[in-house]
Amino acid sequence: MSEPSDRPRPHGADELRPRPHGADELRPRPHGADELRPRPQYGEYATPEEQRARIKQPDQSRLLEAGRDPDALNGAVPADSPSLATKTPPAGPAAGPIPRGRLVDRVATIALLVYGLVNVVTSIPSMIDYQSYVTTVLGLVGIDGELADPTAGRPWGIAAALILAIGWLLTAYLSWRSLARGRVTWWIPLLSGFVFTFVTGVLLMVPIVSDTTLWNAILDSAR
């Protein structure tokens, strides 16, 4: 066996020799090394014991953000408890600008409903006073006359007024539901206006057509 040589080693030979893994951790640190480290801006450096405890005990705030119950890690809550389920906040309505097409449809729908309401409010009094309604209609066709039985037309006028009012309320409700669902709605008040105006017109004409003398006078004036 060769004896260890007493020859001097070249400068830097220790730095070139490979060191085993973890040798730096096993080497004792010189006294005052901690004082050379810069102090943190807030708090203090954690000791190795605190670091190991931190690794074993996860941050509970992070568990809560992930939807996990910290008590389940300690066995206080069963793993299949409903409280461990991830809670998703309810999705609210998407806020954003209303598309131009929907805005035009909404304005047109509201305008038609307002026009229909004005028409209903102004027409109901004349329908209830049926004799005044007949006088107005006959004046438009150039006939001077009246019903043989003026009281016979009043029930028909009241029925027409009720149909017109109920029709507008139904139209407004259907239009509101359609707008809430984001559908094209302008055609609902337009179509309803034609339908309920036609129905009330038929009801109002029943007493006039039933009066043979008055109806023949209207036909003669139309020839």
> Does the residue 38 lie in any domain?
no
Closest among 170, 175, 169 to 188, alpha carbons compared = 175
Angle CA(167)–CA(172)–CA(176) in degrees, nearest 5?
150
pLDDT at 84: 46
pLDDT at 25: 47
> Does the residue 80 lie in any domain?
no
Q: How far apart, in Å, are the Cα atoms of 41 and each of 38, 44, 45, 76?
A: 9, 8, 10, 38
Q: What is the pLDDT of residues 44-100, one digit of tens each?
A: 666 767 766 666 555 566 656 666 655 555 554 555 555 545 555 555 545 556 677
pLDDT at 184: 94
pLDDT at 29: 54
Q: Which residues of the chain have pLDDT under 70?
A: 1-46, 48, 51-98
> Does the residue 155 lie in any domain?
yes
> Does the residue 85 lie in any domain?
no
pLDDT at 96: 55
What's the domain count of the chain?
Answer: 1
pLDDT at 142: 83
> Does the residue 113 lie in any domain?
yes
pLDDT at 26: 47
Return d(Cα 135, Cα 153) in angstroms, integer: 12
The answer to pTM > 0.95 is: no
> Does the residue 15 lie in any domain?
no
pLDDT at 202: 95
pLDDT at 1: 46
Return d(Cα 115, Cα 193) in angstroms, integer: 10
> Does the residue 146 lie in any domain?
yes
> Does the residue 104 lie in any domain?
yes
pLDDT at 37: 61
Residue range(s) defining the domain that contains residue 159: 100-189+211-222
